[in-house]
Structure 1
Amino acid sequence: MADTAIFDVDGTLVDTNYQHALAWFRAFRRYGITRPMWRIHRGIGMGGDMFVSEVGSREIEETHGDDLRAAWVEEFDQLIDEIQPFEGAHELLADVKDRGFRLVLASSGKSQHVEKFLDLLDGKSLADAWTTSDDVEKSKPEPDIVATALAKVEGAGGIMIGDSVFDARAAAKLQIPTLAVRTGGFSVGELLEAGALQVFDSLVAFRQALDGTPLARAGR
């Protein structure tokens, strides 16, 4: 019985994916490595520990991995003030909370970034718990962040809400269902194939449809 709603933050509640992509593009370029932006974007939602070898190569990870991640932080910090919540993000969280769910904001982002995003959402006023990269060893598509989120509130069962195929794959490894929004740029077909039960075009559309989802009431 689901009693915990686990919300991905980056790309789901706050509009960060293209800033992430640009920061990675610039980080790679520092080391004379050029990857097309579309290819970088397709990896957004995957944690930095996985991203370099996936979008670059294993050799690039072995040679420059830690330096690239440090460069990414520097580049992303220059863009962070441009980031805004998606329309309806706070209202959706409040509605889900009112329906009786424990609420966990699950991110494997850097703690200083997560703090910024929680402030943008006024998320601390609603969330029972939240996570950062400090809480996990491996990021998505590994399931660590989902398991940690559920454990933080001693939840009996969870529902994942995310924007990427990596969210759905991570949750599926723990047999936790996913509800997805298209804010990450993935298609309906891709999200369904990755394991999402339902896909919505926006957080506003998602909130309007809550009664027809597993988030209608806690314990369903």
Structure 2
Amino acid sequence: MASVLVLDVDGTLVDTNYHHALAWFRAFRRSDVTVPVWRIHRAIGMGGDQLVPAVAGRRVEEELGDAVRAAWKKEVDGLLEEVCVIDGARRLLEDAVRAGYTVVLASSGKPDHVDRYLDLLDARELAHGWTTSADVSATKPEPNLIQAALAKAGEDEAVVVGDSVWDCQAAKRIGLPCVAVRTGGFGEQELIDNGAARVYDDLDQLRADLSRLPVTRAE
């Protein structure tokens, strides 16, 4: 039985967190709502179903949520050409496969966005599978995305790798360990406070520790 490495994509393998923060800021402004970019950044890692009420309140969600999410898609589409792979991402994927992990890329991104990231990472031959927004009904910090990734792997013994507090919270809800990298702009202590078993400064540091990652079965 192979252990599953559930790898977050946005902010962990591709450098998108600040693109997303700017796109959400612009999307809110289209509806005459101003949310400080720093506050939006704190919510990046959530899906849009969670992010809008989290940063702008329930009233904005009820009245404008769908419009804001549609505007975000248009805004972020215009930034995709600027997205780059985070240094060490491809090396991490290759070494994880060599180490015997079943690698599943766990993203709640739109299918066309995930397709672009797969191309950037040249990951289709390395990953056992991947998820998109089409695979989940609720996004992080709900654990649905991780559960969908495990279903694609056909295993439940896993470790989650992410960059945000929301990755850590989602893993914790189903009893899986999460190791975090600081590539998404979250601090070490806040990641630990939200359940990260370990925190790495970058992907190469994580890659060097692949054989020692904590692995358990999902609850």
Deviation at 1:43, TM superposition (A): 0.6
**Distance in 2 (alpha carbons) for counterparts of 1:80 and 1:181:** 22
Letter in 2 for 1:86: I
**Distance in 2 (alpha carbons) for counterparts of 1:45 and 1:63:** 23
With normalisation by structure 2, the TM-score equals 0.95
- The answer for the alignment partner of 1:184 in structure 2 is 184
- The answer for the alignment partner of 2:162 in structure 1 is 162
- Answer yes or no: is 1:91 the counterpart of 2:98: no
Task: Tell me if structure 2 keeps the 8 A contact 1:2–1:156.
Answer: no
- The answer for the alignment partner of 1:73 in structure 2 is 73
Task: Tell me if structure 2 keeps the 8 A contact 1:128–1:153.
Answer: yes
- The answer for the alignment partner of 1:10 in structure 2 is 10
**Distance in 2 (alpha carbons) for counterparts of 1:210 and 1:156:** 18
**Distance in 2 (alpha carbons) for counterparts of 1:162 and 1:206:** 11
Superimposed CA distance per residue, residues 92-128 of structure 1 (whole angstroms, 9 cap, x where no aligned partner) = 0110111111110000010000000011001111000
- The answer for the alignment partner of 1:218 in structure 2 is none
Moved more, 56-65 or 2-11: 2-11
Deviation at 1:156, TM superposition (A): 3.1
Task: Tell me if structure 1 keeps the 8 A contact 2:165–2:186.
Answer: yes
- The answer for the alignment partner of 2:195 in structure 1 is 195
Letter in 2 for 1:50: Q
Alignment CA distance shift 1:199-1:2 (3 Å): farther
Aligned pairs, how many?
Answer: 215
SS of the residue 1:145 aligns to = helix
Deviation at 1:2, TM superposition (A): 6.8
- Answer yes or no: is 1:172 the counterpart of 2:153: no
SS of the residue 1:125 aligns to = coil
**Distance in 2 (alpha carbons) for counterparts of 1:117 and 1:83:** 9
Task: Tell me if structure 1 keeps the 8 A contact 2:9–2:107.
Answer: yes
Alignment of 1:39-58 (within 5 A): 39-58=39-58
**Distance in 2 (alpha carbons) for counterparts of 1:153 and 1:116:** 22
Letter in 1 for 2:101: F
**Distance in 2 (alpha carbons) for counterparts of 1:196 and 1:155:** 22
Q: Which blocks of at least 5 consecutive residues in structure 1 are unaligned?
A: 216-220
Q: Which blocks of at least 5 consecutive residues in structure 2 are unaligned?
A: none
- The answer for the alignment partner of 2:114 in structure 1 is 114
Superimposed CA distance per residue, residues 139-177 of structure 1 (whole angstroms, 9 cap, x where no aligned partner) = 000000000100111113111000000001001111010
Deviation at 1:189, TM superposition (A): 0.7
- State the superposition RMSD in angstroms: 1.2
Task: Tell me if structure 2 keeps the 8 A contact 1:179–1:199.
Answer: yes
Letter in 2 for 1:157: E
- The answer for the alignment partner of 2:206 in structure 1 is 206
**Distance in 2 (alpha carbons) for counterparts of 1:208 and 1:101:** 14
**Distance in 2 (alpha carbons) for counterparts of 1:122 and 1:174:** 30
**Distance in 1 (alpha carbons) for counterparts of 2:61 and 2:50:** 9
Runs of 4+ in structure 1 off by over 2 angstroms are 208-215
**Distance in 1 (alpha carbons) for counterparts of 2:155 and 2:95:** 19
**Distance in 2 (alpha carbons) for counterparts of 1:211 and 1:144:** 27
Task: Tell me if structure 1 keeps the 8 A contact 2:6–2:103.
Answer: yes
